[in-house]
Amino acid sequence: MLYNYVMAVIDEFGSDPAIIKWNVTRGDTSKIKIEFLNNDEVTKFSTSGWDYIATAYDPKTDIADELDVNSGPGWIEVIAPSDITENWGTAYNATVAELLFDVQVTGSDFVWTPVVGTISVIGDISGAI
């Protein structure tokens, strides 16, 4: 499976989040990998003790979906599973929905949103035939 990669260089917590556009095909599982790096943009930042939550929100339907998050030392993987993406958007257009999403990190003494963006949902017709 292919990944989209996002790097969040940590200068200080609360700094500007990375803003990305994530393309997802309706009904498919999609993943992005986010690496948290020190200022040298090579060494992974220690993320021990961090907790994560990722959410996608469709302003047209007023529905928020919690996305799956896997983590390892200095990185996370955000997953939009097919059983959620199959409900994103309607019709058979090229783009069937635009959702907002973010990733929030909490530690022992901070809350930080390192990534915000838009999920552009591409229409899928082969699953509907």
Please provide the size of the chain in residues: 129
Give pLDDT, residue 40. 80
Identity of the amino acid at 25: T
Report whether CATH 2.60.40.10 matches the domain 4-128. Answer: yes
Identity of the amino acid at 113: T
Q: Which tokens sit at 20?
A: 């990305």
What are the phi and psi torsion angles at 87 (to 5°)? Answer: -95, 0
Q: 24 exposed, middle or buried (CB, 10 Å; 0-12, 13-18, 19+)? A: buried
Per-residue pLDDT of the chain (129 residues; tens, 9 = 90+): 444 555 555 555 566 788 999 999 999 999 999 988 877 888 888 889 999 999 999 999 999 999 999 999 999 999 999 999 999 998 888 899 999 999 999 988 888 898 999 999 999 877 654
Give pLDDT, residue 7. 56
pTM here is 0.85
Give pLDDT, residue 127. 61
What are the phi and psi torsion angles at 4 (to 5°)? Answer: -95, 140
Give pLDDT, residue 1. 41
Alpha-carbon distance of 98 to 57, in angstroms, equals 9
**b or e along 47-56 (b: 16 or more beta carbons within 10 Å of the residue's beta carbon)?**
beebebebeb
> Per-domain residue ranges for the chain?
4-128
Give pLDDT, residue 70. 97
* Closest-CA residue to 6 (of 104, 90, 116, 87): 116
Give pLDDT, residue 33. 92
